[in-house]
Copies of this chain bind each other. A is one copy, B any other.
Amino acid sequence: MVGYSMNKKDLKDRLRRIEGQVRGLQRMVDEDTYCIDILTQLNSASAALKAVGMGLLDGHVRHCVTESIEQGRGEEKVEELMAAVGRLAGR
Q: When the two chains form their complex, are residues A53 and B61 in contact, meaning their CB atoms are under 8 A apart?
A: no
Chain A interface size band reads 35 or more
Nearest-CB residue, chain B, relative to A88:
B89
Inter-chain contact A23/B19, CB cutoff 8 Å: yes
B35 with A56: CB separation less than 8 A: yes
CA distance A91 to B50 in the complex (A): 8
Contact of A87 among B16, B30, B43, B84 (CB under 8 A): B43
Q: Are A52 and B56 in contact (CB under 8 A)?
A: no
Closest to A11 in B: B29
* Residue from B18, B43, B62, B83 in contact with A53 in the complex, judged by beta carbons closer than 8 Å: B43
Residue in contact with A46 in the complex, picked from B25, B49, B62, B80, CB distance below 8 Å: B49
